[in-house]
Structure 1
Amino acid sequence: MTARRHDHPLWFLVPGFVLLGVFFLLPTLFNFIYAFTDWSSFKAAINPVGFANFADLAGDGTLLRAVRITLMYAVLVAIFQNVFGFGLAVLLERDTVVNRILRVAFVIPVLMSALAVGYIFQALLKPGAGLGFTHAWLGDTTWTIVVVSLIHAWKWMGLSMLIYLAGLKTIPVDVIEAARVDGASRWRSFWSVRFPLLAPAVTFNVATALLGSMNGFDIVQATTAGGPARTTEILNIFIYRTFGQGLFAQATTMSLVLFLLVALLAFPVIALLRRREEVL
């Protein structure tokens, strides 16, 4: 009996749980602790300061600006990624040789490094180089956040396309035929019958787009590094820059804010979409 207990398959999970605890749970715990201290490279000792870090970041407008830019970036990415992914899924739904080749082509950016994608677009969008643009799209304080969001969405729209394609393929044919028999046009049957049945795919794609963009860093860092004039300085860019300056406590405070932002905003959106699934 003792030998069987030691040979139980669950023992193979122990190394995984150890790694999870050391490299995820423990740092997360210390993140909650150090956010309330004066930890920096300029001091030998670490002293508790309560909510002083939060007050300082909120007082000079840094916190609100970074949160606003992060939310704007996340919403734009979620919209672009899902619109492009859904459009591609509808256009490439038929199983033809050309469509299969195009599907693979649109999935390739998903497999590429985000930093590589960012640097490629940075080169392509330089005025007078790359694609030959005369306007500095990555230097425009008005449109840069939109351009960077489009680049992020371009990289991941292939994943959204695959999820929507899977959803379209799983819709029963008899449901569509029943709608046709009832006199529904192709357009009507698509939006009234097929699209509502894609609710689970919509939930997954919106959730992954929101969570991925709110935790984004690579593409923004490679294209603008938070500029111009800090108009694309999302939370992770601010955390990276602040930590590099030796202000470890402030960086940890912002990372805690990012954690709370994801928990308080992204998950309610997911819950709302799940309830929509149940209604449909």
Structure 2
Amino acid sequence: MSVNTTERPDTVARLQATPRRRRSTVWQHRLGTSGFLLPALAIITIFYIVPNLLAFALAFTNWSSYHDSIAFTGLANFRSMLQEGTLTNDLRVTVLYAITVMVVQNVAGLGLALALERTSRVNGFFRSVFFLPVLVSPLAAGYVFKAILADDGPLNGALGIHISWLGSTTWTIFVVALVNAWKFMGINMLVYIAGLNAIPGELVEAARVEGASWGQVLRKVKLPLLAPAVTFNFVATLIGAFNTFDIVFAMTQGGPGTSTQVLNAFIQQQYSQGYYGYSVSMGLLLLGLVCVVAFPTLIVLRRREVNL
């Protein structure tokens, strides 16, 4: 039976308008959702994307306090860096510092996580104690340890010896790296504790029933299942160590000589002397170094997770 639409024009108009109303509702929903993202996108664009794009462009200019205008110079800044022996030394110091911090910080964090794995009031207290240095300002921590490790400081006084902890061109870089690892190992500890608590207890109990020792359980059960936490901690620690500045500046200011002058310290030195474009180009070089080291490390560790 057919419907006489000529007698019911309102019904026809409503049926024809329904698809349009639906499309309009969908677009309003999409625009409404995007509207909540616009403020965040604007902040990221203004304070992150635009400055980074400008920094990339200014790295290829002669921008400095010694020039009246900014001119494009191409790769001149990068050629100057390659010709200077200081850059080679700073690269070596930065890589050595980053590797030392990565190893020490992760070993210490994993050891603390294994010791404080079980949830209890006592372990909760010690977790807070070991995490507390993370909340301290890196500059403050650096200045405190500079006073402690001074030649006439409390450490030498308590030990009854005279060691120049911050005066050696060979070992000072490792001393500063240990302070950095102490400062941030609480973060690694918490990540490892979360990974340990995520391991099914049945697997550990089954291994113990089979006669596995504590070391065998750790090596055969816990460490393989901690692979995601290891990947995160190693990569995050490596990137953080490459970008360090505060602790090194507070404790040694790059000395003695240039034995602890990491790239960020050299960048700050060049910028304070008015070589702005040159320092920005060094920042790009540091970014490239981080990518060259961090991405292969991430890929290798992720593949290890899959293989396990």
SS of the equivalent of 2:278 reads helix
The whole-number CA distance in structure 2 between the counterparts of 1:6 and 1:256 is 38
- Counterpart selection for 2:234 from 199, 202, 206: 206
Once the two structures are superposed, residues 141-172 of structure 1 have per-residue CA deviations (whole angstroms, 9 ceiling, x without a partner) of 11111011001100110111111111111111
The whole-number CA distance in structure 1 between the counterparts of 2:53 and 2:290 is 17
Give matches, 1:1-280, under 5 Å: 1=24, 4-5=28-29, 8-132=32-156, 134-280=162-308
SS of the equivalent of 2:156 reads coil
The whole-number CA distance in structure 2 between the counterparts of 1:118 and 1:12 is 41
The whole-number CA distance in structure 2 between the counterparts of 1:63 and 1:129 is 33
In the superposition, the TM-score normalised over structure 1's length comes to 0.95
State the shift of 1:196 in Å: 0.9
The whole-number CA distance in structure 2 between the counterparts of 1:62 and 1:276 is 37
| Structure 2: tracts of 5 or more residues without a match | 1-23
State the shift of 1:12 in Å: 1.8
The whole-number CA distance in structure 2 between the counterparts of 1:125 and 1:6 is 59
Aligned 8 A contact 2:142 2:247 in 1:
yes
Once the two structures are superposed, residues 87-139 of structure 1 have per-residue CA deviations (whole angstroms, 9 ceiling, x without a partner) of 11111123333222111000101111111111111111111223236212112
Aligned 8 A contact 2:188 2:233 in 1:
yes
* Number of residue equivalences: 280
| Structure 1: tracts of 5 or more residues without a match | none
Once the two structures are superposed, residues 14-45 of structure 1 have per-residue CA deviations (whole angstroms, 9 ceiling, x without a partner) of 12111211221112112221111111101111
Amino acid at match of 1:197: L
State the shift of 1:5 in Å: 4.6
Amino acid at match of 2:235: A
State the shift of 1:278 in Å: 0.8
Larger Rg: 2
Aligned 8 A contact 2:156 2:163 in 1:
no
Amino acid at match of 1:124: I
State the shift of 1:7 in Å: 6.4
